[in-house]
Amino acid sequence: MIIEMIPLSSSAISSAGYAGGILRVQFRSGRVYDHPGVPYDLFVGLVHASSPGAYYNTHLRGCFR
Residue boundaries of the structural domains of the chain: 6-59
Round the average pLDDT of the chain to a whole number and report it.
Answer: 93
Q: List helix spans (H) across the chain.
A: 40-48, 52-59
pLDDT band at 65 (very low <50, low <70, confident <90, very high): low
% residues pLDDT > 70 (the chain): 97
- Whole-prediction pTM value? 0.91
pLDDT score recorded for residue 1: 78
Distance separating alpha carbons of residues 55 and 9, to the nearest angstrom:
13
